[in-house]
Amino acid sequence: MTDSGYPSAHPAPPGCPAHTGAVRLGGLEYQQTPSQLYRALRREHGPLAPVLLDGDIPAWLVLGYSEVTYVTSHDELFARDSRRWNQWENIPPDWPLLPFVGYQPSVLFTEGEDHRRRAGVITEALEGVDQFELSHDCRLIADDLIARFAGSGRAELMEDFAHALPMRAVVQMCGMPTSGEDTRRLVDDLRISLDAGEGDDPVAAYGRVGERLRQLVKDKRAAPGPDVTSRMLTHPAGLTDEEIVQDLISVIAAAQQPTANWICNTLRLLLTDERFAVNVSGGRLSVGEALNEVLWLDTPTQNFIGRWAVRDVQLGGRQIRAGDCLVLGLAAANTDPQIWPEGHVGAENAAHLSFSNGEHRCPYPAPLLADVMARTAVETLLERLPDLVLAADPAELSWRPSIWMRGLSALPVRFTPVMQ
């Protein structure tokens, strides 16, 4: 460790002189305050920092707003097909990040016209979701979840509310039952795939998610309904069942855990920041402001892996080799002092990169649907429990140890019991 409390730099991997002084991104003690890490990396390395992933695999962390925007806008230089990676010979079959980077025939790894075709199917399937109906459904789900703990006067909102609401909303949108052992296991496996804890096997969990969704696609092909899965199956683009399975994994994973963290991070802000505490009860304008501020300062997807250089290229004053992996530092970019030189983040606008940027950004209208879920969840909770307060010292709240997702381990609250 250095005197500043941050892990010291590590020697460059063999044959990788550019990664002299690289910082290891796995198992960091300072995952509770990643903004400090981003500032330290930016001071030492500028907008592009050499880092080491699990197993000391070299990569680049793109920290600058302009640089993230450039990478995501130039697919001809920084592409999504991970088979370009120049490190595959060093990746073991049980590598923890394999669910993120192992090539799958999903929309996430497609390029060019194939990507536009696949993304177009997702967009049109999501456009079939009525936002007013979704808001109504989310309110019913919220009411049901709140009723389970309203009489006790206490709750742990991450597990009891924020995690459960988008899960139920998303699986309902896709045509699955909102309860039952199969659904519970699916959500658990999605969490492990995205944010594995000690003792979890993310590769095996990802495989189980695929099997459950293959059964869903089979069921919907036999009996289609008014849901996202059925609209993908009947789309004139004619995707194969396996393409739909892989794209459903992307849709569900992108909607469930990030939205859950968005809800919980917003509730934390509303309950701990005096700017909102004065009029938090029923304060719809404050809820909207808090939701947007969280996307700037505590965005659920902190870092995204990634892009792979198509050829040798320079970026941020660094020489990037063909096949190098670039991790998109979405959270770091959102607080880049080059766009907020006085340290003030413009929470009143929506120019953040929390949904990424470019052709591979979160497809329209997915951000709008996530906003409906998050806004309805927060507003309904505050309306039902108007004297909600934090049941712990704010300094005692802990974040899950992940450099990829930003979410609390728990959010304990108390309130006047409400008898149903």
Q: Rounded distance, CA 24 to CA 55, Å?
A: 9
DSSP for 169-218, please give it. HHHHHTT--SSSHHHHHHHHHHHHHHS--TT--HHHHHHHHHHHHHHHHH
Q: Taking the complete model, does pTM exceed 0.85, yes or no?
A: yes
In a domain, 278, yes or no: yes
In a domain, 258, yes or no: yes
Give the model confidence (pLDDT) of 280-303 as tens digits: 554 555 888 899 999 998 999 999
In a domain, 420, yes or no: no
Give the model confidence (pLDDT) of 338-369 as tens digits: 887 665 665 567 889 999 999 999 988 999 99
Q: Rounded distance, CA 333 to CA 205, Å?
A: 31
Q: Rounded distance, CA 239 to CA 148, Å?
A: 41
In a domain, 11, yes or no: no
Give the model confidence (pLDDT) of 57-100 as tens digits: 999 999 999 999 999 999 999 999 999 999 999 999 989 898 88
The interaxial angle of helices 241-272 and 366-384, nearest 10 deg, is 40
In a domain, 1, yes or no: no
Residue listed under structure tokens 């030189």: 341
Query: Three-state DSSP class for 44?
Result: helix
Q: Which domain holds residue 74?
A: 17-414
Considering only residues 274 and 374, tell me which one the structure prediction assigns the higher pLDDT. 374
Domain of 40, CATH number, reads 1.10.630.10
Q: Structural domain tally of the chain? A: 1
In a domain, 2, yes or no: no
In a domain, 249, yes or no: yes
pLDDT of 9:
46
Instruction: Return left, alpha or beta for 226; rule: phi > 0 is left, psi -120 to 50 is alpha, else beta.
Output: beta
In a domain, 364, yes or no: yes
The terminus-to-terminus CA distance of the chain in angstroms comes to 53
Cα-based distances in Å from 162 to 156, 159, 261, 390: 9, 6, 7, 15
